[in-house]
């Protein structure tokens, strides 16, 4: 199974329409194990000594601020990401632009609220011939220590949109599996319609002794991802047409987000001015 992962090539799929690299796009909350998961996958596939290729944070603060690509194999890359501190639409819009292959890697991840600036950023990437050859796979990393019951509907929208953009149902990787609460967390995501849920205990600098169970979990995960990719490639359209579709969808989403922000700011401003006009109220 490991050899199949190392030897995987998109060019070997007859129906391929020009894609030559798989991008496993990681996203999720800060400090939930995104970077550690990348390190774990590289450790399993590369073999040898554990190396912290991606800098991992702790205490849910996170340290990654850029989208940083890490080569897993010649054909498969894993892209680390800045953690979303909230699920505000400006942050989810940034994730959608990444999944739509409309933002460059190796750049700072920004929560840009200016609509025109967002358009300029994506327009600059719209006709990038190199990234047109990338096939994006959405992977949400989430720690079982974080309860998301209250945000379940927002997560549902995030994951459904990720599926719409990429044509691939997002994979859920639950980290810190020995912390308890794994089954209840699985239920939360299952109720959102997500079936591809994996539980992982990452390798870390402090805990890097080779464990067969950890290796098998990661190899099984990557094997399933490649099977999904083979199916998706057969049914994908022209890369340029796909990107144009993504561009229109994300522009619409960001315009709606910008308009909502303007309405909210207008209401807040009127509320403040109304309070000032009333003046102070003294009780004697």
| Within-domain flag for 58 | yes
What pLDDT sits at residue 269?
76
Between helix 152-166 and helix 239-278 the angle, nearest 10°, is 150
Between helix 152-166 and helix 89-99 the angle, nearest 10°, is 20
Reading phi first (left if > 0) and then psi (alpha if -120 to 50, else beta), residue 152 is in alpha
| Within-domain flag for 268 | no
| Within-domain flag for 269 | no
What pLDDT sits at residue 130?
83
What pLDDT sits at residue 55?
83
| Within-domain flag for 276 | no
For 53-63, write each residue's pLDDT tens digit: 888 765 555 67
| Within-domain flag for 188 | yes
Range of the domain at 124: 2-261
Which comes out higher in pLDDT, residue 12 or 61?
12
d(CA 281, CA 5): 72
Domain count, the chain: 1
| Within-domain flag for 209 | yes
The phi and psi torsions of 35 (rounded to 5 degrees) equal: -65, -40
Helices (H), the chain: 2-7, 34-46, 89-99, 115-126, 152-166, 182-190, 212-235, 239-278
pLDDT at 116 over 80: yes
Tell me the CATH number at 230. Answer: 3.40.50.300
| Within-domain flag for 273 | no
The H or E element containing residue 25 is strand 21-28
For 35-86, write each residue's pLDDT tens digit: 999 999 999 999 888 988 888 765 555 678 889 999 999 999 999 999 998 8
Mean pLDDT of 95-117: 91
| Within-domain flag for 128 | yes
- pLDDT band at residue 282 using 50, 70 and 90 as cut-offs: very low
Model pTM score:
0.90
**Three-state DSSP class for 46?**
helix
């Amino acid at each position: 199974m490991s050899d199949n992962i190392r030897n995987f090539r998109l060019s070997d799929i007859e129906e391929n329409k020009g894609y030559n690299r798989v991008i496993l796009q990681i996203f999720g909350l800060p400090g939930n194990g995104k970077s550690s998961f990348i390190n774990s996958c590289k450790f399993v596939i590369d073999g040898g000594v554990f190396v912290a290729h991606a800098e991992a944070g702790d205490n849910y603060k996170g340290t990654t601020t850029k989208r940083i690509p890490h080569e897993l194999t010649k054909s498969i890359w894993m892209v680390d990401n800045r953690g979303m501190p909230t699920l505000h639409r400006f942050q989810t819009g940034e994730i959608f632009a990444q999944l739509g292959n409309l933002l460059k890697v190796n750049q700072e991840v920004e929560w840009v609220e200016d609509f025109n600036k967002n358009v300029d950023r994506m327009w600059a990437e719209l006709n990038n011939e190199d990234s047109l050859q990338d096939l994006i796979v959405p992977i949400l990393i989430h720690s079982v220590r974080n309860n998301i019951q209250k945000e379940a509907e927002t997560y549902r929208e995030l994951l459904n949109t990720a599926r719409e953009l990429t044509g691939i149902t997002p994979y859920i990787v639950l980290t810190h599996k020995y912390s308890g609460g794994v089954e209840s967390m699985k239920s939360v995501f299952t109720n959102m319609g997500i079936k591809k849920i994996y539980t992982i205990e990452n390798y870390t600098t402090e805990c890097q002794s080779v464990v067969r169970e950890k290796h098998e979990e990661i190899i099984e995960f990557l094997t399933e991802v490649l099977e999904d990719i083979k199916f998706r490639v057969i049914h994908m359209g022209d890369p340029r047409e796909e990107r144009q579709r993504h561009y229109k969808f994300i522009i619409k989403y960001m315009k709606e987000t910008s308009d909502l922000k303007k309405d909210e700011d207008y209401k807040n401003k009127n509320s403040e001015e109304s309070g000032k006009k009333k003046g102070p109220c003294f009780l004697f």
